[in-house]
Structure 1
Amino acid sequence: MTYSQEAGTIRKNGYIVIKGRPCKVVEASTSKLDIVLSSHNCDVPHVNYTDYTFLYIFDDGFVSVLTENGPTKGVKCPPLDESLLTQINL
Structure 2
Amino acid sequence: MCDESMEEFSGATGTGASATFPMDVSALRVKGFVMLKGRPCEITEMNKSASGKHGNAKVTIVGEDIFTGQRHEDVVPAEENLDVPNVVRTEYSLCDITSDGGVSLMDDKGDTRDDLKLPEGKLGEEIKVKFEGDGPDLMVMVAKAVGEEAILSYKISKE
The SS at the match of 1:8 is helix
Equivalent positions of 1:11-90 (< 5 A) are 11-25=29-43, 27-29=44-46, 34=60, 35=74, 36-74=76-114, 75-81=116-122, 84=126, 85-90=128-133
Relative distance call for 1:54 and 1:37 in structure 2 (3 A) is farther
Relative distance call for 1:52 and 1:83 in structure 2 (3 A) is closer
Q: Choose between structure 1 and 2 for higher RCO, CA contacts under 8 A separated by at least 6 residues.
A: 1
Q: Distance in 2 between matches of 1:8 and 1:58?
A: 46
Aligned partner of 2:21 in structure 1 is 3
| Count of aligned pairs | 89
1:77 deviation in Å?
Answer: 2.7
Q: In structure 1, list runs of 5 or more residues that go unmatched.
A: none
The SS at the match of 2:89 is coil
Structure with more strand by fraction: 2
TM-score (norm 1): 0.69
Task: Single out whichever of 44-53 and 34-43 deviates more from structure 2.
Answer: 34-43
> What is the Cα-based RMSD across aligned positions, in Å?
2.8
Q: Distance in 2 between matches of 1:55 and 1:11?
A: 36
Task: Give the share of equivalent positions with the same residue, in percent.
Answer: 28
Q: Distance in 2 between matches of 1:49 and 1:56?
A: 20
